[in-house]
Every structure is written in structure tokens, then in C-alpha cells.
Structure 1
């Protein structure tokens, strides 16, 4: 069924275009440039999609309901004086920084949805839950995620699959709980990540005595050490120092490797070490055997890039990325063979996470590197898995802006956006914080673009009927006319609908001297869940023979601020700072 089939448009029933089916939004064809100027690779750099390539990411559901905190080390260390920090004594774990979505709990459906969308767009296949600390499986939290993932899939959206990494030594207690609560009753089976035809479980099966369990899972033994590598087949790593080992299966194939953002390890020192060690752990800026001390090096992902480069050289079947959303760590005075005297501040021994530099999450943060690690993750996943070619248009089209939309039926390509990503938020976070967000409004589903000698034409379809044009921040069309991220607001040179004059006339604005300036008018029509607009080519610098531009729809962002507006508020098509690329076939 056509996504833009006319249904008595304008004269009978309101237009109701059908959404696409299957959940594939062609995210591997989207374009983006991050805040560091790094562009997402296309097929020329990655090659076409490769068979049997999988990416999993370490995922933490341990953000449970706590009345204490948040204890944010970035803020606490900023107040350090006289060689000490006034550490809070509330017993709550410490965040190394603030997530873009706030100090959330993992029962928050808004957070779960945002994570799933970002990870799918990046090409991540499975989230691997941390259950390495017995006896906890964080059941309430993984069940909340499974319920939300199931809702998303019913709506037509993509989610990753799920899996678990269990304790490195005797995993019996945790495995028994997962078996009883999830796997034996067959709950959320369609979410299970399968490996060799069975659900994957990272656990040492030597401790498992139940024959039914042994036959049910594909086991891979998780190896805890960052330095030693495998001592046999069918073992997987979760984090290692560079150069990482290759973990082979029983057939001798290069099956798996890990890629880490950072490692809580010290040079030439066996075993893990505190991230807070004053000799300096292998943080985000670690590469070539040393810490890069340049200003801003923490944003560059140098450690992450070095590990990805190593993994791409080997090209295993599965890459395990550490990690996504750990965020917290306990504060100690002693741990293993270390004490707080080995660390920067008394009372401040932190093992796995400490500060911006000494942390290992890819999830976007508030301030700092924002979403740079997320886009770095996406770029390397593309290089590992390959991508499809970006779609092209065949030539000019005859479009009449009348609200009928039937002339869009034959226009290609069809651009897609995540379905169902306008859910509202009302959920608690750490320390009694309550997060609310009701900006989700018009849910973008399908977009198209076309041109003739005079105009660029754009069509956008939403899930439900489009709200009135008098709404604030309504149906903004952002155009990167020069395809240069260094110009404009977040790279966008022009915006349509910043000021809507009537039900048929809107404005085109250009970014000049750090602000939007109205430069002309455009005609548009809305009917049901469809909108079309004609933008004069001369207004957006596209007066040549074949136009070439990137574009992005945004509804109900709250301001023209930083990139978090496109990731958190309203809806964007495509998501975050991703863009659709319009190019004419040559």
C-alpha cells in the first residue's frame, strides 16, 4: 500500500496516509556531522552490508528507585578545596556526570524508548544487561524495558534484542533467577538474542548442572580480565586493554572481540584498578600507550577509536561494546589491593566510573561531549557492518500544492522516521527528582522531497492528524542547503514555518549573524496527517540545475538551543542530528 495514497483529499474524508511496515527506517543511509566535524561514513567508506556481523552493547538496568542523590562527581570535584572533597554521606552511588535525560531510573519508559531508538539508529543489535553482581538481576527494571520494547515493536518501531552477562565466576544464583523469571516461562521470547540457534547467555556453564538449561542456551563464558585473553574456545570478553585479543569459537573462527570507551586499568599492572587512581587509568583520552593531554582530548574518543581500529583489522563476527549507560559507581576507601591514598582525594576511591575522562559511557551527556561518543559509535558500527547506498531522486517532478497529495505517490525516495517516538514523560529520578516532558505532539512517519525549476517541494506525513498551525514551534522544516555543518544553526541554513502566516502561507528564514531572519514566503497545505510545502529555490540557494541538500523536520522543539533539543523534545525526522540527504541521480 502506498504511504501517500490519496483518500478523497480536500473534498471528503481527511487524508490518512498509511505508515510504512517492518520497522526499517533506513537509518544506515542517514547523514550526520557531529560537534567535532566528523561525518558519518557512507557506502564508499564502509562497503555494502556484510553477512554475519553483530554488535552488542553493555547496558545497565541498575538505576533503581533511590531517594538519595544524585551525587554528581563533576559537580562535587568542582568544589574541591584544600586537597579534599566534601563527599556526601547519603550512601547513594555517584554519577560521573549528568546524562542528557537526567538522573533517571531504568523503569522510565521515556528513557527506554529514547535509548532503543538511538541504539537501533546506530546499528546495535542487542543490549547485554549487567547482572555480574550476584544476586541482583534488576528484575523490575529489565521487565519494564521488555514491556516498553514490546509496545514499541507493536507500534512498528525497531528495538534491539536483549541478553545477559552473568557473574564471571559462579553464576548459578543469577542464572537460576533468570531461568525461573524469564527464560523457562518463555516471557518476551521475540526479544531474546539468538546465537547458534539458541538464546545467548554469557555464563560459565561449568557451574550449571541442570540439563534442560544446558540444552536451552548457547553459553559463552565471560572473561573478567583485561590483559590475559582466552584460555580456551567459546569464551567472550567484555573489556580489554589494547590490543584486544581475538576470542574464537569451537570451530576456530574469530567469533568475538570487545571494544571499550575506557578501561579501569593501569599501564603494565595486571588486573583492574580504580578509575580514580592518581597515576591515571586508561581513560577516554588514552591511546598509543599514554594519555593525550591536549585540551579537549576527552571529547575525541581516542581510546575508543584505537580499540575499534584493532577490532576492524580482525573483523570478528560479534563486537561487544562497553558501554552505554553505566554512569554510577560506589565510593570506597579501599578496594582490592588499593586504598583511597592511591587516589586523587581522601575518601574518593571509585572503581569503574569517576569523571568525564575516567568513564566509559556512550550515551549522550548534558554538556561535555554531548552526543559525540554516540555518533562515534554509529560511525564504527557502519564500518564494521557496512551500509546500504543512499537513495537518489530521478529528476524533477510536477507537484501542485493543493492538499491532495496524489502527485506525491510516484515520488521517490521515501524517507522514514521512527514511529511512536512522541511519548510523554512523568517519572521519578534519583533523589526525589521528577522528570516531565509533554512536548511530543506530531509523530513524523514518512517524508519526501521533489523539485522543479522554481521550487523545492517537501511532503511530510505524521501518524495522526497534524495539529493546528497556530501551535508553537510547529512543523519546522530545517534545510542544510550547502551541506556544510559549519554554517547555520547546527548546520541548518534555512528554516520553514518559524512564522506561519495563515493556513496556506508560511515563511522561510535564513540563519544570519547568529539569528533567524525572514527572507521570503512559501505556500503550503495541510490535510489530515499530511503536509506539503513549496519553497522557492532562490530563497535557499538552490537555483542550480540539480539541487543537493540535507533536510530535517522538527516539531515542538522548545528553542533553537543545543543539539539536545532535537534529541529530547518534540519529534525529529530523522532523529537527533541525523539528516535526510537529497541528491539527484546522475
Structure 2
């Protein structure tokens, strides 16, 4: 009997210990601060939190599948650097024209189009940075950080028309990206995408390749930014366009992949050396190996295709068409193949958007369906189309056979029928950017969420050196908003100079009474009476009212003037809905040279009796209160855009519940362990209980 009791005790002990073991085996998405005590070497955007303008929360480690095989995965982005070439034109906005004159859609001679010649470019909408040129270093610096923060590895530069390589623009990118890398940005690498039209590429690509080799690669221009594949710089061009003897040096220098000229290609074998840049769903698998793994796939925001378009064969379901084909059913942003929907996490639970939803345009159903397939197939690299094409030529007639569109815009048209991800000034804002970032996380994975369980009491009047023992550190790149003085498209000039306090580092800690914040800038802080001075935005996970996901702010109103010791008080405010704020309490601060320390009582944040789990960001000298899109344009923002730094003192558990429409999963503030650990606990306990019964029965038999 005693041995049986001991056995039961041992088994019960295993029941207690097994959840921790299961969490370790499954990779619960949690790493203690003890595992990561070394100071961060640079920004870590893969650890950022954030909620987008549609309420979609960026996935963290605990939200993602742990079953995907370990391998290196890459994301490439189609990038257009030829806006200088077209900037001789006055910008005209198609979305605005069609909104005012819907009857002009397929009328080439309508006065709304300004009487321009066939082939003249028009913008589908205005970029967030205005109608910019491709050598605008302010824009290039912003793009470098946005693309890096999303997780993009390589930009494929568009050289698909004629033999123009836009080398002046390329060198501007190299100059800005090299500087951004020195400032801490993990900038994307660069590769060239040459002609894809089989009728012209065998004439044009040899000219381009020889020029690239001699003027860029042989001279090692931007060498640290070159993208390598199979150990050599990658170029998207067929190798057989070159002369096997005369061009031997070039053939030996590059890895070649031909860009497919069709959206409708059947799967290709690995030896075909073809990559896609845009495909209709279900997308082509390019480079299928004998073991079934895939080298490359395309993911597109939208595709200029429908069932009426130009087809290569009678059994082809879709064909190439203009984005404004009057017969409709073009594969725009809201298009889906069949009925489709997806679920996303919000502060209040889970929401679903589906085929036919009136706001499907904003939610990127086409984009998401393509990402789902790419993640399922799991190729080595995903080619995303695209970032910043923005313009399309307007043609009197375009197409072939029965698939001719009058007043045709083949590639870009309006908000719905366009394929750019770069944020815009229109209704799409930055929605597709965060959808991109979320899906890159689903495809690549992210590191485990760090835990900071060790409390520290900070003397708000003490020296900044007391923070040296605090583990939770967040590094920010510098030089994020350079001075801007540059012409864009014809008649457009940009002037701005809003960088003031350049944020380089932040820290957070807590004790039983307070949460403490430290922020450090590159140079001595300016006086706290300036415009929008050193604001702290906080996100505590509340399901109540927020402004763009944030429920608290410090320094929306200027703090009190500091005393001789640099100390003063600032106002913590809580939103009452949107950019409307009510005082929540006074908090103490201290300025010392280039550092600002804040002390916020936990009671004011609703964190008195639960874990200190929050997200935050610092901003300085933003120009437009209440407009979160200004965070892309003005001052300094750490981290950039809507991203947040994540601080956790305890793990976050996923709790499931059922509402009227769907089974939903929400994140509860101050919870303890991820749901699958508790599921594992229950399953383990049940299994061990069964083992106990069996063992006891066996002992009785003996």
C-alpha cells in the first residue's frame, strides 16, 4: 500500500511539472529575461506589437503555429524606382477623377482626363509621401525602415521596359540604404528584374546585363546590399539571352532566374529556373523539387485578370485584361476565388471578414487568400507585388482579340483595382502594410516573447545610470526623418524639417507601486514646452475606448517646467474615445541631459492587481494631433508607424469563448499561461491518472 501511495505522489508530481515541460517542448512563445539579459544590439522589429487601423492585432509568437519546419525563408518585394523618369508629368489622380466623373471610366476623350496623349501615366491615388520622385532621400529613408520593419529581405527593382536601368535612382537607393544600415536599420537587399516580354527580352536583356555587370557589379557599387541566391548575386533574367562565349564572365557571375510573363502558368520544375511575380489564385508553384518542396511563389495584392481577358488556351479559366475592364470581375483587392474569409484578433475578441463584405476592399481578401496558399505551400522565397508602382499609362485601346478595353489602365486604376502596399492618403491608408507584416510573421515566424519578471525600484530623482541593471531595453534606429527639400512630379515641391529629439533607446521596469520609463535621445533633450514634446503612448490591452489602440498618453499637454534638478510633473490622460482625453493623474518626471525618466503609479493604469503587461511608443514633434498617419511623416517615432514596444511581466494566455457568429480567442490582461499549455496539462493529467489506475490494478493483481 505504501508503495502505491508513493507511486501516486510521484505521478501527481509529474502532473504538476509536466505543463512546464510541455511548454518547453512546444515552444510556448515565452522566454524569461534571464535568457536575454544582453542589451539589444539594434532594433528588433520582429518583436514589435501593434494594432492596425482596422483593429487587427499583429500576431506574436504565442499566436503562430509551432509546427512549421525550421528553414531560412525570404520575402521579396517588387519595387519601382523609375518615378524620376515619369515626373515630367503633372500628377493626376484616377480615384479622384472617377469619383467626380464615373462616366469617364471608359471614355478616352472625356475632358476629365485633361486631353493627354495615349500612354501618359496617371496615379491610382496619392502616396502618403506625396507625388514623390525616386531620388527623394527623405522618402527612401522612410521606405528603408518601413520595409525592414515589415520583414522584407530583398527589393526587386523594375527594369522590365526597354533597356533603361535607372542607375542614378539605384545609386540614390544605395546611398540612403547604406546610411540607414549604419543608423541601425536592417535594410532590404537589392536585385534587378529585367524584361519579361518574350518578344523583347532577348534583344533588351543582354544590353541591360552587360551594363549592370560593368557599371555596378564589377565596380562593386553597393556590394553590401546585393542579394545572393545559390552563392551568387541574383538577377531576374534568363541566362540563355547571353552569348555563351562572349558573355562567359557574366554567366559565371550571377544566379539567373527568368521572370514569368504569365499569371496563369502551370507549376514548373526546379530546373526550369523560372520565378513568378504575379499569379492568379491558386498561385503557380515555381521550382518544384523531386521531394515536393518549392523554390518560389508570388503573392499579389490584385491582378489585372478576369474570365474575359486574353487567354493562351481555350481551357484557361482567366486571361489578361485591363484593371478597368468594363465587363467587370477583375481580380481587385476584394476579389476571392470562391467563398473565402479570414479571422483576425482584436482587442475585444476575434472578427471575421468574408467574400462580399461591404468593406472587403480595406481588408485585402485577395491578398490574404494568396498569402494563405503561400504559407501552406511554404516556398523558400515569396515574391510580393508590390510596393510603390502608383502609376499606369492610360491607353486609347489596350488588349487583344475580344479582350480590348477602351481608355484602358492595364496595371493600376483605383483604390480597388491597384496592387501597391505603400501607405496612401486615400481610404486604404496603411491597412495593407500591416497585413503584409502580419503575414510575413506567419510565413517566417517570430522569436519568443520575452518576460521581465525582475522588479526594480527607480528613484525618479536619481541618475540614469540606475537603469543599467534593467533588462528591458528597446533600441531605435537614428536619422528616421531627414530634412526634406525636393521636387516631385511636375509642379510639386516638398519642404519639411521636423526631426528634433532623435530617440535612440527606451527602457521599462516596475515595482509594486509604479511603472518606470526611460527614454534616451541622440543629443540633449530640448525644453519640454515645445510642440508635441516627448509623448508616451500606452496600450494596456483594455477592450474599452482607445485612440488607434492606445488608451493612455503622457505629455499630450506640455508638462510643468522642470526645477533646477530637472524634475517636474506631467499629465497622464486616458482616452474617452478617439483623440479625446481626460486627466487620469499626475506623474513625476526628470530630465537629465539626453534622458527622460517617468514614474507612473500602477493604479492609474489599472495595473495595480495584475501583471504589468503593456505596449508603448515614444513620439516627438509630430505635427497633426489625432492623425496617426502623421507618425509616418513628422518628428521621431519609436518604434515607427503604429508599431509598439512590448513589455510583459507575465505570460499571456489565450482564452477561447463563443459568440453569436464564431468561436473567438482573446488575450486577457494579467493571465498566466498560453491555452495550449493548459490543454496539455489536462491531457497529461488525464493520461497520468489513467496510468495510475492501471498500475494500481496491476499491483492488486500481484
TM-score scaled by length of structure 1: 0.91
Gaps of 5+ in 1: 1-18
Which of 160, 184, 187 is residue 218 of structure 2 equivalent to?
184
What corresponds to 2:283 in structure 1? 244
SS in 2 for 1:152: helix
What corresponds to 1:333 in structure 2? 396
* 8 Å CA contact retained: 2:545, 2:576: no
What corresponds to 1:321 in structure 2? 384
- Distance between the aligned counterparts of 2:128 and 2:280, measured in 1? 28
Aligned-pair distance for 1:312? 0.9
Does structure 1 residue 406 correspond to structure 2 residue 471? no
- Distance between the aligned counterparts of 2:304 and 2:88, measured in 1? 28
SS in 2 for 1:333: strand
Aligned-pair distance for 1:158? 2.1
The one-character-per-residue Cα deviations of 1:526-575 (angstroms, maximum 9, x if unpaired) are: 12221111112222222224322211111111232222122211111111
The one-character-per-residue Cα deviations of 1:144-180 (angstroms, maximum 9, x if unpaired) are: 1111111112223221100011001322122222222
User: What are the residue-to-residue correspondences of 1:407-422 with 2, within 5 Å?
Assistant: 407-422=466-481
Aligned-pair distance for 1:418? 2.4
SS in 2 for 1:453: coil
* 8 Å CA contact retained: 2:40, 2:474: no
* 8 Å CA contact retained: 2:268, 2:285: no
Which of 55, 59, 75 is residue 55 of structure 1 equivalent to?
75
* 8 Å CA contact retained: 2:141, 2:481: no
Aligned-pair distance for 1:290? 8.0
What corresponds to 1:519 in structure 2? 584
Between Structure 1 and Structure 2, how many residues are aligned? 562
- Distance between the aligned counterparts of 1:272 and 1:53, measured in 2? 30
Aligned-pair distance for 1:365? 0.8
Aligned-pair distance for 1:461? 1.2
Which of 123, 141, 146 is residue 95 of structure 1 equivalent to?
123
What corresponds to 1:80 in structure 2? 101
* 8 Å CA contact retained: 2:323, 2:417: yes
Which of 130, 133, 139 is residue 161 of structure 2 equivalent to?
133
Aligned-pair distance for 1:251? 7.2
Name the structure with the higher helix share.
2
SS in 2 for 1:430: coil
TM-score scaled by length of structure 2: 0.77
SS in 1 for 2:148: helix
* 8 Å CA contact retained: 1:198, 1:217: yes
What corresponds to 1:447 in structure 2? 506
What corresponds to 1:160 in structure 2? 188
* 8 Å CA contact retained: 2:238, 2:258: yes
Does structure 1 residue 302 correspond to structure 2 residue 368? no
Does structure 1 residue 391 correspond to structure 2 residue 391? no
SS in 2 for 1:78: helix
What corresponds to 1:509 in structure 2? 573
User: What are the residue-to-residue correspondences of 1:531-570 with 2, within 5 Å?
Assistant: 531-570=596-635
- Distance between the aligned counterparts of 2:401 and 2:502, measured in 1? 52
- Distance between the aligned counterparts of 1:160 and 1:81, measured in 2? 40
* 8 Å CA contact retained: 2:55, 2:549: no
- Cα gap change, 1:63 to 1:20, in 2 (>3 Å): farther
* 8 Å CA contact retained: 2:487, 2:494: yes
* 8 Å CA contact retained: 1:278, 1:342: no
* 8 Å CA contact retained: 1:105, 1:430: yes
- Distance between the aligned counterparts of 1:212 and 1:314, measured in 2? 36
- Cα gap change, 1:475 to 1:202, in 2 (>3 Å): same
- Distance between the aligned counterparts of 1:60 and 1:493, measured in 2? 38
How well do the aligned residues superpose, as a CA RMSD in angstroms? 2.2
- Distance between the aligned counterparts of 1:268 and 1:480, measured in 2? 49
Aligned-pair distance for 1:289? 4.2
What corresponds to 1:70 in structure 2? 91
What corresponds to 2:251 in structure 1? 214
- Cα gap change, 1:508 to 1:77, in 2 (>3 Å): same
Aligned-pair distance for 1:181? 2.1
Q: Which moved more, 1:208-217 or 1:86-95?
A: 86-95
- Distance between the aligned counterparts of 2:542 and 2:145, measured in 1? 25
- Distance between the aligned counterparts of 1:265 and 1:442, measured in 2? 48
- Cα gap change, 1:25 to 1:513, in 2 (>3 Å): closer
SS in 2 for 1:287: coil
- Cα gap change, 1:338 to 1:206, in 2 (>3 Å): same
SS in 2 for 1:500: coil
What corresponds to 1:497 in structure 2? 555
Q: Which moved more, 1:448-457 or 1:262-271?
A: 262-271
* 8 Å CA contact retained: 2:422, 2:433: yes
The one-character-per-residue Cα deviations of 1:459-487 (angstroms, maximum 9, x if unpaired) are: 11112222221211100011112354x62
SS in 2 for 1:110: helix
- Distance between the aligned counterparts of 1:295 and 1:545, measured in 2? 39
- Distance between the aligned counterparts of 2:360 and 2:103, measured in 1? 27
Does structure 1 residue 145 correspond to structure 2 residue 203? no
Q: Over alpha carbons, which structure has the higher Rg?
A: 2
- Distance between the aligned counterparts of 1:523 and 1:42, measured in 2? 32
- Distance between the aligned counterparts of 1:391 and 1:90, measured in 2? 57
* 8 Å CA contact retained: 1:122, 1:381: yes
Aligned-pair distance for 1:268? 6.5
- Distance between the aligned counterparts of 1:264 and 1:302, measured in 2? 16
SS in 2 for 1:219: strand
- Cα gap change, 1:151 to 1:338, in 2 (>3 Å): farther
- Distance between the aligned counterparts of 1:410 and 1:371, measured in 2? 37
- Distance between the aligned counterparts of 1:108 and 1:20, measured in 2? 34
